[in-house]
């Protein structure tokens, strides 16, 4: 505020704004979902490479045609790879972003939806999120706690005549009507985050000397006071100081934000006043502000807790106010750390402390990012909600950066999601949508890896036992195409409530176990099909290819309904698109050997008795998968 002549000693990237900008253009830290995708891809690459190389060398050892063996091995690799995964993820995320937009959350980075579902810690300020965000001046009191028109007048002059950035506290003071006719402003000492005080110098009509009026954080105002207004001005004794701090603590515990007001006549007028003039002041009273909690926030916090999401408050307010708000809205307070505590802690100590801390109070902007990193070090998927310039680095560092449409531009640019209203209800709905999206993505992974691995394992084994290739490369690719068609609709599938009940992450070890259990199960019934075709039907190469093709597609399409849920099939209703697409693919598969195009793929019609046996094998496979699923999940639990 005011005017000045300045010398610029830092420009561009060397300024504070420049440092923030440099941190924002760095590649965002790898999120939990991205790490999971990378781990899954590496696992599939290893399995595919080992299986394909084994099949190729064995077939070459049997002195089969090398080119045909190579094409067969490549087709195996294609069949084993869940090549639709990128598209499935994109479709799932796009559908999720549309659903979230309808609920008031604009998704800027699609992948953040998956992280939103995996989030287990949400860090947020209390103002406007837990509270209404409309600050009201509740009272102007003198040093002993009585209503005071003088304290209100001093506060009004200070808020009205200062020319810095307006803040909600000043706006609340200016809602009162105070007559300041004839008062002349002489100078001001702007607010800063170190002093936490704002002063103006005014000349009252008829006053012998200008008056310096200071308001700010109570501790910082008391620090420059030597006197107190109690039945006249008296020295500020230790007992006075303790009584003032007792009142401050009592009001803070009731949820009030308390500022102090002090004055000092300035006997020697001068052109410019500085922070050095804030000394030997007289403490005259308190300003009490109240920002009431939102009516429904307690219910929303309970819903978030039920979803397994811990809420942590990061605020610049004092710890007593933050504790009161948390307790009022029903947020259990396990521990409190202040900005001073954070400064005294090494990173390793902070990593442990954040687990037991609910409120981070009196923190400065630079400490927010440190808190986010500490939570991530302890294995949490962290969401951060902020709307200011200094919130940009923690928004960028968090797994899910959340801002609001009224935030500054740099905060919205750094965020992954922008809320159209500052409301935890929107977050709750977004988390549920993120978990639905993640659940449907994992469904495809479970279906594709288990079915593909089983079929490819069967082909690899059959290629060692048969005098001909168990299936032609073009037939393998056709199986892959037909079995993937129903899975394209997985984004519209219904999701069981247990998938939404708690945060879930990529677990490559669990996926590997799932594949190694249900893949071989598929192979057992594939080998049963081989026995029927070779020993009962006496199949030649074309009949063998046709019979196994029909069994492979039907079994993969039907077992989807068992593997898509942890519940018994009868208790989990699939989406309509998945149901109808699977039915259509099944009909096409059964009819394909009987239409003219069959010869193009090397198929020929199946005898009715063989087709009936294939149906029985498919039904037996579905029943076995359902029984094995229950045992598998019981053991996993």
Name all contacts of 573-580 with Cβ < 8 Å and 24+ positions apart: 573/494, 574/493, 574/494, 575/489, 575/492, 575/493, 575/494, 576/492, 577/489, 577/492, 577/493, 578/486, 578/489, 578/490, 578/492, 578/493
Q: Which of 65, 120, 125, 138 is catalytic?
A: 125
- Reduced DSSP (H G I as helix, E B as strand, rest coil) percent helix, strand, coil of the chain, to 5: 55, 15, 30
Residue 418: helix, strand or coil by DSSP? Answer: strand
The two three-digit tokens of residue 38, written as one number: 């990378």
CA distances, 604 to each of 310, 433, 541, 562, 587 (Å) = 60, 47, 10, 30, 16
201 has which bridge partners? 187, 212
CA distances, 544 to each of 54, 78, 259, 586 (Å) = 23, 21, 86, 19
* Rounded Cα–Cα distance for residues 151 and 217 (Å): 15
Calculate Rg over the CA atoms of the chain: 35
Half-sphere exposure of 86 (CA within 13 A, CB side): 4
Question: Taking CA 33 as the corner, what is the angle to CA 29 and CA 38, rounded to the nearest 5 degrees?
Answer: 85
Neighbours of 206 (CB within 10 A): 6
Q: Give CA torsion, residues 385, 390, 395, 401, to 10 deg.
A: 30
- Pairing of the two strands 281-290 and 225-229: parallel
Q: Is 125 a catalytic residue?
A: yes
Question: Taking CA 627 as the corner, what is the angle to CA 621 and CA 628, rounded to the nearest 5 degrees?
Answer: 85
Name all contacts of 580-588 with Cβ < 8 Å and 24+ positions apart: 581/485, 581/486, 581/488, 581/489, 582/486, 582/557, 582/558, 585/482, 585/483, 585/485, 585/486, 585/553, 585/557, 586/553, 586/554, 586/557, 586/558, 588/482
What DSSP string runs through 586-620?
A: HHHHHHGGGSGGGGGGT--PPPHHHHHHHHHHHHH
Stated as kind and residue range, the H or E segment containing 465 is: helix 424-465
- The overall longest dimension of the chain from CA atoms, in Å, is 118
* Rounded Cα–Cα distance for residues 76 and 586 (Å): 22
Convert 129-197 into a string of H (helix), E (strand) and C (coil). Answer: CCECCCCEEEEEEECCCCECHHHHHHHHHHHHHCCCCCCHHHHHHHCCCCCCCCCEEEEEECCCCCCCE
Number of H helices, E strands in the chain: 23, 16
Catalytic residues: 125
């Amino acid at each position: 505020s005011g005017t000045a002549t300045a010398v610029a000693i830092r420009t561009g990237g060397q300024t504070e704004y420049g440092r923030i900008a440099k941190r924002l253009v760095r590649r965002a830290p790898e999120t939990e979902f991205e790490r999971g995708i990378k781990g899954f891809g590496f696992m599939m690459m290893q399995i595919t490479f080992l299986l394909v190389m084994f099949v190729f060398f064995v077939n070459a050892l049997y002195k089969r045609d090398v080119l045909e063996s190579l094409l067969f091995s490549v087709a195996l690799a294609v069949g084993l790879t869940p090549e639709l995964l990128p598209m499935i993820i994109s479709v799932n995320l796009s559908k999720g972003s549309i659903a979230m937009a309808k609920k008031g959350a604009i998704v800027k980075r699609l992948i953040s939806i998956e992280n939103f579902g995996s989030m287990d810690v949400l860090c947020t300020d209390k103002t406007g999120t837990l509270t209404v965000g409309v600050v009201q001046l509740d009272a102007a009191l003198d040093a002993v706690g009585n209503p005071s028109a003088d304290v209100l007048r001093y506060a009004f002059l200070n808020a009205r005549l200062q020319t810095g950035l307006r803040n909600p506290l000043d706006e609340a003071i200016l809602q009162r009507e105070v007559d300041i006719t004839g008062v002349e402003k002489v100078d001001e000492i702007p607010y800063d985050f170190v002093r936490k005080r704002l002063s103006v110098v005014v000349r009252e009509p008829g006053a012998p000397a200008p008056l310096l009026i200071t308001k700010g954080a109570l501790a910082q105002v008391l620090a420059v006071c030597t006197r107190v207004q109690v039945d006249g001005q008296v020295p500020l004794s230790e007992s006075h100081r303790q009584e003032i701090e007792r009142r401050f603590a009592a009001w803070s515990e009731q949820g009030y934000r308390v500022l102090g007001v002090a004055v000092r006549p300035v006997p020697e007028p001068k052109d410019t006043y500085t922070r050095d003039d804030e000394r030997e002041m007289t403490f005259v009273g308190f300003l009490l502000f109240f920002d009431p909690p939102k009516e429904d926030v307690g219910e929303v916090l309970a819903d978030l807790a039920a979803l397994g999401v811990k809420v942590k408050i990061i605020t610049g307010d004092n710890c007593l106010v933050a504790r009161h708000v948390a307790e009022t809205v029903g947020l259990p307070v396990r521990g409190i750390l202040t900005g001073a505590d954070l400064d005294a802690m090494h990173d390793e100590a902070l990593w442990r402390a954040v687990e037991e801390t609910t409120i981070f109070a009196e923190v400065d902007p630079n400490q927010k990012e440190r808190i986010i990193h500490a939570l991530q070090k302890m294995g949490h998927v962290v969401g951060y909600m902020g709307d200011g310039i200094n919130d940009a680095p923690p928004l960028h560092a968090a797994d899910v950066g959340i801002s609001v449409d009224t935030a500054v531009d740099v905060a919205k640019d750094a965020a992954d999601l922008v809320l159209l209203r500052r409301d935890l209800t929107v977050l709750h709905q977004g988390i549920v949508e993120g978990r639905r999206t993640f659940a449907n993505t994992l469904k495809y992974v479970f279906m594709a890896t288990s079915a593909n691995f089983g079929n490819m394992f069967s082909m690899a084994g059959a290629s060692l036992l048969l005098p001909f290739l168990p299936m032609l490369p073009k037939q393998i690719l056709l199986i892959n195409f037909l079995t993937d068609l129903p899975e394209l609709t997985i984004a519209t599938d219904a999701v069981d409530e247990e998938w939404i009940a708690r945060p879930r992450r990529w677990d490559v070890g669990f996926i590997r176990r799932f594949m190694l259990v249900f893949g071989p199960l598929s192979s057992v019934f594939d080998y049963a099909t081989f026995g029927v075709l070779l020993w009962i039907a006496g199949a030649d190469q074309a009949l063998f290819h046709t019979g196994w093709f029909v069994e492979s597609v039907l079994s993969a399409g039907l077992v989807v309904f068992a593997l898509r849920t942890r519940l018994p099939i009868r208790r989990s209703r699939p989406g309509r698109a998945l149901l109808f697409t699977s039915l259509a693919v099944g009909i096409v598969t059964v009819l394909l050997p009987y239409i003219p195009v069959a010869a193009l793929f090397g198929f020929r019609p199946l005898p009715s008795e063989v087709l009936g046996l294939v149906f029985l094998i498919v039904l037996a496979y579905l029943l076995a998968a359902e029984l094995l699923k229950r045992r598998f999940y019981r053991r996993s639990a």
